[in-house]
Homo-oligomer: A and B are copies of this chain.
Amino acid sequence: MINNIILGDCLDKMRSIEEGSIDLIYLDPPFFTERKHTLKNRERTKEFSFDDTWGSDKSYAQFLKERIELMKPLLKEEGSIFVHCDKSGEHIVRAILDNVFGSDNFQSEIIWSYKRWSNSKKGLLPSHQNIYFYSKSKFFKFNTIYTSYSETTNIDQILQRRTRDEHNKSVYDLDVDGNFKPADKKKGVPLSDVWDIPYLNPKAKERVGYPTQKPLLLLERIIKLVTNEGDIVLDPFCGSGTTCVAAILLGRKYIGIDKSHEAVKLSISRIEKPIKTESNLLKKGRSSYFNVDKTALGLLSGVEFNPVQRNKGIDAILIEQFENGPVLVKVQKDHESIEEAASLLAKAMKTKKSKKSFLIQTRLNSSLFNNVPDFDGMIILESPALQIKRTNKVLHSDNFSGELDR
State the A residues within 8 Å of B (CB). 36-37, 39-40, 42, 44, 47-50, 53, 57-58, 61-62, 65, 87, 90-92, 94-95, 98-99, 102-104, 106-111, 113, 115-116, 118, 120-128, 133, 142, 144, 148-152, 154-159, 169, 172, 176-180, 182, 185-194, 196, 198, 202, 225, 281, 286-295, 297-311, 314, 317-322, 324-327, 329, 348, 352-353, 356, 358, 360, 362-363, 379, 381-389, 391-392, 395-396, 398, 400-406
Contacts and interface: CB of A to CB of B under 8 A. Distances in A.
Contacts of A225: 124
Contacts of A320: 185, 392, 398, 400, 404
A106 to B, nearest CB: 8
Chain A at the B interface: SS class: mixed
A37 to B, nearest CB: 6
Contact of A178 (B294, B322, B405): B294
B304 A180 contact: no
Contacts of A180: 353
Contacts of A179: 294, 353
Given A290-B151, A299-B383, A305 B404 contact: yes
A307 B176 contact: yes
9 contacts: A108-B123, A120-B190, A124-B133, A125-B189, A156-B352, A179-B353, A303-B389, A304-B400, A304-B406
B102 A40 contact: yes
Contacts of A133: 123-124
Contact of A391 (B40, B104, B379, B401): B379
